Amino acid sequence: MINETISRRKFLRLSAGVAGSAAMISAPRLVYKMTAVPNPITLPARLETSGNSQIIPTVCALCPSGCGMLARIVDGNLVKVEGSPMHPVNLGALCHKGQAAPELLYNPDRLTGPMRRVGARGAGEWEAIGWDEAVRLVAEKLGNLRAAGRPERAALLYGETRGQMRGFLERFMTAVGSPNAISHDSLNIEAAKLANLFTQGVYDLPVYDLENSSYVLSFGASLLEAGRNPQRTIAGYGYLRRGRANRGKLVHIDPRQGITGAKADEWIPIAPGTDGALALAMANVIIKTGQFDSDFVHNYAFGFEDFKDDQGKTRKGFKNFVLENYDPRRVEQITGVPATTIGRLAGEFAGNPPAVAILPGKGGLLNGSLNGLAAATAVHCLNALVGSLEVPGGALTQRYPPCPPWPELPDDPVAENGRQAERLDGAGTHFPLARHAYQAAADRVLDGYPVEALFLYDANPVYETPGGEKFIRAFEKIPFIVSFAAFMDESAQYADLALPEPTFLERWQDDYMEGLGYPGAALRQPVVEPLYDTMPTGDFLLKVAQAMGDPVAAAFPWGSFKELLQDRLQNVGTDWETLAELGVWLTPGYRFARRGSARWINEVVGKDRRLAARDGRFDFFSRELFCHLSERSQEWETAVSGDALYLPHHEDVVYAGEEAAYPFLLNVVTLMSLGAHSYNANLPSMQEISGMTVRETWTSWLEMNPETAREMGLADGQTVVVESPFGKLQTTLKLVPALRLDVVNLPHNMGHTAVGRFARNRGVNGMSIMNPASEPFTGLAAMTNTRVKVYSVSRES
Amino acid sequence: MTKWAMIVDLDKCVACQGCSIACRHENNTPAISPEEAAMGRAIRWNDVFPNPVNGTEEAGAYPHVRTRYLPRPCMHCENPPCVKVCPVQGTFQDENGTVRQNYARCIGCRFCTVACPYGARYFNWHDPYWSPEMARCLNPDRVVGRDDLEGPAVRLRGVVEKCTFCIQRLYAAQDRAAAEGRDFRPDEYVPACVQTCTAKARYFGDLDDPDSTVAMLSQNPRAFRLLEDVGTRPKVIYLREG
């Protein structure tokens, strides 16, 4: 047989015929022939790599975690990033988005230099200009506004920025003479910040000491996906899950299970927008059974018991208010959570100290259901009730590294006059409780607020706000728009000047640490030479200030943004060289303030109150809210009245869309892979993996419970129409059993019409069919009160 | 002899997919076109799956739904079926028990892809493509000597590729130790996925060293291996949730 000439086909047939018999020897013969040459497996192997390799520390900017990063640079190229083990937020770890940072730096769709619009707005016709020309144009515009005595007609919308940049942007607008530096916080974290302000008196997000907690109650806070700083909460969660006798328990309360609910020990599917009622029913049980922290509520809090005010009028306290109104059996009707479960949760929460109730920073359904603030307040009061403030395993207060005060602004009557003007977004006036009402800027412009120059810094309102097309109409009334975006996003398309800033890997910037409590500063530095003719926005605005001359120039005595940082960070505890070498400097160890001590009063309770007493007492009855509202309470369009207004309470959500016609609540979910910035959608790896949970890729999808789908005759994978009173979209239906029957989910940051080749025309943008309203008084975007109906495409035609 | 092994604690893992993308940028796996991705041809040596993968019934009915997620690198089996079926010795177990792939010998028959019960092997249907800008972030490291390049060196169409426990990082760590004139310690080397793990759910080390973290955790009552009954004896060991 060996000597025969046989075809390969015949050989295979022969082998198959005698498989298992002695004729198998043909196989070893084949192996023998191949090993006649040296077996490659036994050869030594070695690593070939470039000797020109270095590691540079920096800080990630792809989400608000601000993780320390080590960039590996080989021959001038960034080839890999790793987490910095020095940085306490991520401790050497890095999420998928951080790992994809090189895809941002080397993204083929980045803008390569400053441009001026030549065609019609939005037509996409541009001409390249020089940076000197750009500085001249912007300085001239602002100079003209100041010369005309209306500097308040300049406005800035800004997105995710922390560290000195945020203060710098606000200072720039203030120095020019405009009150209009408007943050996008009202789209996401503002409900939690305001709730903390009106109870604890701190205008900041509480910090949760997950590591040391025994019982974590997450009210729609998507801790493990897209919370305020997901890397920090994931690290805390990982430590909570360490093997120990009393394993920390995580309970997730959300109509959608999501990854947080899947990883939690218990998932409570709650009726959307009723979190506040659940928290108050738990408070009811805790008070009834006497399991609250009596020392705290009586000695370090205000308004727990009924009290008499200055006029001798008896006011309702938290205790009686909750006992009278929030019996678990009644709340069962509101929330859909059985009274027995409410009782058990309350017992577990009070009986497993330290326990902590967590507000959603981003994601979740508390924010802007037109009862967002009251609900968030109720949740935070649970922490106070069991004394979980400023204790290990409880809710802490973020401290920041010491910075010298900003230099006094020069004497400037034009600017002083401008600063007194009403804000563009109506914060403080139309929305008396708001600090920022980003999405409302468009409404106000359309209502006649004159804006003559608009700056967009990491802001893409056309895409990222509910009903964002209204910004396109608003832009028509603004003669001069400048975008600093690194990509031609939906809003930059309508700009007159596109002045791209470099990616975070090519610029100097600092970032303070958030989420650990103790202060720390981290430094972002260029890890490669800038790829294109871009300029960091900080440097650009400094040049503009210089070009405008005094008095604006006098407010900015720094030659570059790096110089500004060196000046501002001089007191963080180390010198600049060390900070640049390590990328991070911290003062580890949270210093707990003793109840009632000077540090307690100065740092933990009451420090940011503007009107109410800073007496170190946590407000169950919000005095700050009372001071803001008592004279305007008649205007408050609310179901409650009297003292309930100032106490945490539940109001039914006011939905857009009748339930009969629109049976589902639309929940636009922020995914960890795509969240935070529009340009994250243009990272190809993020597009590829964002649909992991439903095995989708490069597109968006609508999640629906299979029971509902079966009743409606809809099947997994079919194309459906999602229609709200504001518009409709077409996308793929995916059946997800871990979801309430009356809620459907759409992922956020899909369906771009611009930004770049990887983001464009991939899926749909849920924001485009959402209720464009704002919460009255608080100015929060109504992110979760839009109802929709879902039907198959064939029915439409 | 060192026996590299990995522990994945599913109680800590939050399915963030950091491992997937760390692997991609360490090992130069391409992001493929949306059309190819929709056909299931995406190459992620370390993928993350929902469990159950398909169908909604197995997870239970609302509200009693149990959803799980499973990150899945190559199991680096002690008894690897892929090595047995390879007709050309293109895939092999090295002296440390790591299952590796010799791209020059691979003839693209995909026997190994079928034989692997974990779906951990990926075939290159096309030459990978990076735009000129994107190509600048490719990892330039190459493991050479055994006939051809290994590790992150770019693979062309027609070959099968897989997780190597970031073999180039092992060589780099050994070279560093040699350059500093000292012995290499097993804790100087971890694959990219272990280094980046956000919840610190992964542990890596020498299973043959009874004092190593992985050896100790492998005895944990929560420890299990995927498809234990098929006899592959994986060296990636999971710890159950709860």
State which residue of chain B sits closest to A234, comparing Cα positions: B199
pLDDT tens-place values along chain B, 242 residues long? 899 999 999 999 999 999 999 999 999 998 888 999 989 899 999 999 998 776 566 778 888 888 899 999 999 999 999 999 999 888 999 889 999 988 888 899 999 999 999 999 999 999 998 999 999 999 999 888 766 667 788 888 899 999 999 999 999 999 999 999 999 999 999 999 999 999 999 999 999 999 999 999 999 999 999 999 999 999 999 999 87
pLDDT tens by residue, A664-684: 999 998 888 988 799 999 999
Asked if the peptide bond before residue A354 counts as cis, ω within 30 degrees of 0, the response is yes
User: pLDDT class for A455, splitting at 50, 70, 90?
Assistant: very high
Q: Residue A50 has what pLDDT?
A: 81
| Higher pLDDT, residue A522 or A6 | A522
pLDDT of A6 > 50? The answer is no
CATH number at B13 reads: 3.30.70.20
Give the span between the Cα atoms of A117 and A480, in whole angstroms.
11
The answer for A 628-667 residues in CB contact with B (under 8 A) is: none
Mutate to test the interface with A, among B10, B12, B14, B85 (most CBs of A within 10 A): B14
Instruction: Kindly report the nearest CA distance between residue B229 and chain A, in angstroms.
Output: 24
- Would you state the pLDDT for residue A243? 72
What number of C-beta contacts closer than 8 Å exist between A and B? 227
- The pLDDT tens digits for A464-485 are 999 999 999 999 999 999 999 9
* pLDDT, mean over chain A: 90
Percent of chain A with pLDDT over 90: 77
| Cβ-based contacts of B109 with chain A (< 8 Å) | none
Which of B8, B16, B48, B69 is the best residue to mutate to test the A interface, defined by the most A CB atoms within 10 Å of its own CB? B16
Give me the residue label for tokens 């130790």: B177
- Structural domains in chain A, CATH included, are 8-42 (no CATH), 115-189+403-586 (3.40.50.740), 205-396+595-646 (3.40.228.10), 664-796 (2.40.40.20)
Distances (CA, A) of B165 to A95, A714, B27, B103: 19, 43, 10, 16
Q: Min CA distance, A502 vs chain B (Å)? A: 15
Burial of A18 (0-12, 13-18, 19+ CB in 10 A): exposed
pLDDT attached to residue A73: 96
Nearest CA in chain B to A67: B198
> What is the mean predicted confidence (pLDDT) over A424-438?
93
Chain A residues whose CB is inside 8 A of the B172 CB are 47, 49
Longest dimension (CA), chain A: 115
Strand residue runs (E) in A381-498 = 395-396, 453-457, 481-483, 497-498
Residue B117's Cβ-side half-sphere holds a number of Cα atoms within 13 Å equal to 15
Task: Identify the closest residue of chain B to A532 by CA–CA distance.
Answer: B133
Can you spell out the DSSP letters for A135-181? HHHHHHHHHHHHHTT-GGGEEEEE-S--THHHHHHHHHHHHHT---E
Residues of chain A contacting residue B103, judged by C-beta atoms under 8 Å apart: none
CB B198 to CB A40 under 8 A?
A: no
Whether ipTM > 0.90 holds is yes
Distance CA B45, CA B50 (A): 16
Contacts of B18 in chain A (CB under 8 A): 93-96, 98-99
Collapsed DSSP state (helix, strand, coil) of residue A745: strand
- List pLDDT tens digits, range A600-656: 999 999 999 999 999 999 999 999 999 888 777 666 656 677 888 899 999 888 889
How many Cβ atoms are within 10 Å of B91's Cβ, its own excluded?
25
CB-closest option in B53, B62, B131 to A108: B131
Model-level pTM? 0.93
- What pLDDT, on the 0 to 100 scale, is given for residue B58? 72
pLDDT value at A8 more than 50: no
Position A2 scores a pLDDT of 39
The set of residues, in sequence order, having a beta carbon less than 8 Å from that of A314 and lying 6+ positions away, is A306, A307, A308
Contact in structure between A434 and A183 (CB atoms under 8 Å)? no
Domain ranges, residue B16: 4-239
Taking CB atoms and an 8 Å limit, are A705 and B172 in contact across chains?
no
pLDDT at B147: 61
Domains: count for chain B? 1
User: What is the Cα–Cα distance from A121 to A386, expressed in whole angstroms?
Assistant: 56
pLDDT at residue B234 in the model: 97
pLDDT of residue A15: 37
Tell me the CA distances in angstroms from B89 to A176, A291, A520, B123, one per residue in order.
Answer: 72, 69, 54, 17
**Beta bridge pairs of residue A453:** A154
